[in-house]
Amino acid sequence: LQKSLSETFGADQYSRARKEVLTYMFSRPMQMALYFCTGVLEDETLFHHYALNVPFYTHFTSPIRRYADIVVHRLLSASLGARPPLKMEKEAIQKQADHCNDRKMASKRVQELSADLFFSIFVRVRP
C-alpha cells in the first residue's frame, strides 16, 4: 500500500498535499482507541492491543494535553503506590471516559469534514 501511495503522490508542487490527504483517507477506517475503566469491564480480552499483540495495554501522553491522560497518570501512580488512590467510584471514572470518548469522536468528525472540504476544493481547482 505504501509503495502504491508513493507512486501516486507524484513529484509536483501538490505531491505533499496529495500524500497527506490520501494517507489520512486510507487510515480513516481504522478503529479508534477508546478510553474505558477496567473496573467496569469483566472481559479482560477487551484490554488487548491488536497491533502490538499484548494482552494488557494502557496509553497516555503528557498530562498537560488531555484530561484523560491526567486520570490515567493518577490511576497508574496510585496502583504503583506513589500516591493515594483516587476517591472516585469506577462508575464515575467510566462516565469521565465516556465523555472524553464523545469529545474525541466529535473532534475526529470535524477533522474528517475539514479534510473532505480540502480534498473537494483540491479536486475542483486541479484538473
31-89 residue pLDDT tens: 677 888 888 888 888 788 877 888 888 877 777 778 888 888 888 899 999 999 889 89
| Region 114-124 average pLDDT | 87
The span from the CA of 34 to the CA of 57, in Å, is 12
Q: pLDDT: is 48 or 94 the higher one?
A: 94
Is residue 41 located within the same domain as residue 5? no
Does residue 73 sit in helix, strand or coil? Answer: helix
Is residue 49 located within the same domain as residue 94? yes
Is residue 64 located within the same domain as residue 117? yes
Whether pTM > 0.75 for this model: the answer is no
Is residue 103 located within the same domain as residue 55? yes
Per-residue burial over 90-115, b if 16 or more Cβ lie within 10 Å, else e, is: eeebbebbeebbeebeeeeeeeeeee
CA 85 to chain centre: 27
Is residue 71 located within the same domain as residue 109? yes
Is residue 117 located within the same domain as residue 69? yes
Is residue 4 located within the same domain as residue 42? no
Structural domain boundaries enclosing 11: 1-29
Query: In angstroms, how far is the first alpha carbon of the chain from the final one?
Result: 25
Question: How many domains does one find in the chain?
Answer: 2
